[in-house]
Structure 1
């Protein structure tokens, strides 16, 4: 029988907050607390719309909307206050439905994956224990790249961790910033609704498929080319 070329290995690159762990609103509250501590009063919905960006870009975008000005030192201080406020709430964060099982299933089937988050290691690595993952889990954090989402650096680094070309990766995220970064990396975007963005928003940002949460995605892995025989 004639040998035909094999399909290249695909990998999944997962955002963290709102995608694998139910932490978006803890981040929103932490940012509001940090902002209030510096005398900046912003509505929760304005903060939520920017979750998923890097902390520095997040602050710059919010300040642009309000017309306020902060120095580089004040922005750094604000990010530190956010991290401290988030750590105070970390006990209330839980894995999203199906997240642990989804990662376990991909591992069992030999499908490479990595976690790519705009969060710094200080807060992001708290999630490894929640997800039952070892310390050497492939995770790319803000500390490790030059720019975070919506730039593609996190997902380019994640693809390198997973040992695949970015064009053979599928990015799973809950925000338009994840999907914009995925497109810029040349990867296929998959949306989940568990971070608060709507299906239409995710599809307009480039999502090939949209699932309710990791459990829904796990039930439909065959739609993404992951079959029982893999």
Structure 2
């Protein structure tokens, strides 16, 4: 197996376990705006999307979201995330293995930098390992599933797409990785990753398995 020259990680649900409080907030917001959905539905339909696309999808499903909802939801989200979110189990060891092998890594997230400043910033030593290599779709023309974000990260790091590996836990991220021409690992610790495999990913069940999957 050929080792990659760059590994690009999603942030939410891959580096930090920030999705549970974020998705619960979405469920509450939808409920207040006339759309009653379960958490499993939120998890399957809204994970990995930009808030612009979340709003479009929710409105199409019947949620009467106010015009300024995107701005207000970020303010509420940031306050909730400031309570702290843990790192994903095994991620520090995975980065240790990449460092030992001399393989660089970067972050490509659909979330805004301000959100990552909060979630990653709660872990200063971990954030220091990523400084200067964090990329947000808010600085691109389009977010995932558009491949621009991953291609931008690869170009900045000076690595051709075919030598990159993407690690993402969402269907939109997996599609973006595939469209970018990168090997893509679908991170799913609670299931068999079938929904990610269907989009072209290889299932990564634990961060402890990452080094072996990329030939380390």
Which structure 2 residues correspond to residues 1-230 of structure 1 after superposition, within 5 A?
Answer: 10-36=5-31, 39-43=33-37, 44-49=39-44, 50-66=46-62, 74=67, 77-90=68-81, 91-129=83-121, 130=123, 132-134=126-128, 136-194=131-189, 198-207=192-201, 209-217=202-210, 221-225=211-215, 227=216
Instruction: Please report the TM-score for the alignment, with normalisation by the length of structure 1.
Output: 0.81
- RMSD over equivalenced CA pairs, Å: 2.3
The runs of 5 or more residues in structure 1 that have no matched partner are: 1-6
Contact 1:34 1:81 in 2 (8 A): no
For residues 4 and 42 of structure 2, the distance between their equivalents in structure 1, rounded to whole angstroms, comes to 38
Larger Rg: 1
For residues 192 and 79 of structure 2, the distance between their equivalents in structure 1, rounded to whole angstroms, comes to 29
For residues 57 and 132 of structure 1, the distance between their equivalents in structure 2, rounded to whole angstroms, comes to 30
For residues 162 and 104 of structure 1, the distance between their equivalents in structure 2, rounded to whole angstroms, comes to 19
Instruction: Please report the TM-score for the alignment, with normalisation by the length of structure 2.
Output: 0.85
For residues 209 and 60 of structure 2, the distance between their equivalents in structure 1, rounded to whole angstroms, comes to 37
Q: Deviations over 1:74-98 (max 9, x none)?
A: 1xx2122222222222224100101
Shift in alpha-carbon separation, 1:97–1:9, aligned structure 2, 3 A: closer
For residues 33 and 81 of structure 1, the distance between their equivalents in structure 2, rounded to whole angstroms, comes to 13
Contact 1:20 1:214 in 2 (8 A): no
Contact 1:96 1:213 in 2 (8 A): no
Contact 1:175 1:197 in 2 (8 A): no
Shift in alpha-carbon separation, 1:149–1:85, aligned structure 2, 3 A: same
Give, in angstroms, the shift of residue 124 of structure 1.
Answer: 1.6
